[in-house]
């Protein structure tokens, strides 16, 4: 999530596949007893309070609870099938994940533009930095997600509805790491390089475009990866708390109200996968851009 841009990444090393498989296997072996333990506790409490669950012992009920703490394998399977087939139906998770992913990417794009402008101002004007930087940091401690409904309502007043308010809320949450990362990146060229530009009589705009911007790219991508997760949280929260017709957040809200625990688990896994895919997309973009960049 947070990496120091300067950390050196060792190139070689053997494949991680085998150890990863081992860990996955161990987790699977742990899952079965954990599931039985968690669910039978719940079942025992329900039975004790006089519920008719259609099974008599807690252990027998553990794999067939309607609201399991941890779903049994069969429940997982049917939950996945229900929410994934057909993949592009408005009620299925893959389609809604695409919607949320789209909102998040749009939000990230907005946040990048805003973050770049802010970073430029921060680097160019010391009075701006002194007047606003503490409050930019502070803005990150404001639980803006609490304000998402109000923000959406205010935007709705001006006819901004649907896709866009979610992207804006995502952008609000994501701009900060980008702005700070970019400011750090814009300042990263060392005095030697700046001196060189000066001897070439480069204009400030040239220094900016030819030296500072390219130098800041690695920082941009590092902060984009941090920002991507934050933006995803932003768009899901926005979907939950505003008028939405699609998206993982809307599914989350709907199913948590319809008391469908298995669906919640499935959506959680889709959300996790979406987060991983988004970071991977940015990683791919980074490789593309850094390869395309002329060698320094």
Q: Is 109 exposed, middle or buried (0-12, 13-18, 19+ CB in 10 A)?
A: middle
The whole-angstrom separation of Cα 22 and Cα 87 is 31
Query: Look-up: residue for tokens 């072996």?
Result: 29
- Regarding 53 and contact with another protein (CB under 8 A), the answer is yes
Element (H, E) at 207: none
- Regarding 161 and contact with another protein (CB under 8 A), the answer is yes
The whole-angstrom separation of Cα 136 and Cα 14 is 42
- Regarding 256 and contact with another protein (CB under 8 A), the answer is yes
Of residues 267-296, those binding another protein (CB under 8 A): 267-268, 271-272, 274-276, 278-279
- Regarding 213 and contact with another protein (CB under 8 A), the answer is no
**Which residue, 103, 101, 252, 229, is CA-closest to 177?**
229
Instruction: State which of residues 108, 174, 220, 236 lies at the interface with another protein (CB under 8 A).
Output: 236
Of residues 182-201, those binding another protein (CB under 8 A): 187, 194
Query: Look-up: residue for tokens 């921060």?
Result: 122
Instruction: State which of residues 51, 77, 117, 288 lies at the interface with another protein (CB under 8 A).
Output: 51
Please report how close the Cβ of residue 37 comes to another protein at its closest, in angstroms: 11
The whole-angstrom separation of Cα 274 and Cα 228 is 10
- State the virtual CA torsion across 270, 273, 274, 280 in degrees, nearest 10: -170
Please report how close the Cβ of residue 68 comes to another protein at its closest, in angstroms: 9
- Regarding 86 and contact with another protein (CB under 8 A), the answer is no
**Which residue, 87, 46, 82, 89, is CA-closest to 64?**
46
Instruction: State which of residues 37, 45, 57, 113 lies at the interface with another protein (CB under 8 A).
Output: 45
Please report how close the Cβ of residue 290 comes to another protein at its closest, in angstroms: 19
Which tokens sit at 276?
Answer: 């991983």
Query: Whose Cβ is closer to another protein: residue 276's or residue 293's?
Result: 276
Q: Pattern of binders to another protein over 12-31, x per CB under 8 A?
A: -xx-x-xxx-xx--------
Query: Whose Cβ is closer to another protein: residue 127's or residue 199's?
Result: 127
Please report how close the Cβ of residue 295 comes to another protein at its closest, in angstroms: 26
């Amino acid at each position: 999530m947070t990496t120091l841009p300067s950390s050196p990444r060792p190139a070689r090393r053997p494949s991680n596949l085998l150890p990863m498989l081992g860990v996955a296997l161990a987790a699977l072996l742990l899952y079965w007893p954990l599931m039985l333990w968690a669910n039978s506790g719940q079942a025992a409490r329900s039975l004790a309070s006089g519920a008719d669950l259609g099974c008599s012992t807690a252990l027998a009920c553990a794999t067939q609870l309607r609201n399991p703490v941890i779903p049994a394998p069969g429940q997982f399977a049917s939950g996945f099938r229900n929410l994934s087939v057909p993949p592009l139906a408005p009620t299925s998770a893959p389609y809604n994940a695409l919607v949320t992913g789209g909102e998040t990417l749009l939000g990230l794009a907005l946040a990048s533009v805003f973050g770049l402008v802010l970073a430029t101002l921060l680097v160019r004007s010391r009075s701006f930095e002194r007047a606003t930087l503490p409050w930019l940091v502070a803005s990150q401690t404001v639980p803006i997600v609490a304000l998402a409904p109000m923000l959406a309502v205010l935007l709705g007043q001006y006819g901004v509805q649907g896709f866009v308010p979610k992207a804006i809320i995502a952008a609000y949450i994501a701009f900060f790491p980008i702005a700070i990362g970019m400011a750090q990146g814009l300042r990263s060229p060392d005095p030697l390089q700046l001196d060189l530009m000066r001897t070439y009589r480069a204009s400030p705009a040239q220094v900016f475009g030819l030296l500072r911007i390219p130098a800041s790219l690695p920082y941009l991508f590092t902060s984009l990866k941090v920002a991507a997760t934050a933006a995803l949280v932003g768009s899901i929260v926005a979907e939950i708390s505003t008028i939405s017709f699609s998206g993982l957040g809307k599914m989350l809200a709907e199913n948590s109200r319809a008391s469908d625990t298995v669906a919640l688990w499935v959506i959680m896994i889709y959300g996790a996968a979406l987060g991983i895919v988004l970071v991977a997309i940015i990683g791919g973009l980074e490789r593309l851009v850094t390869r395309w960049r002329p060698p320094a």
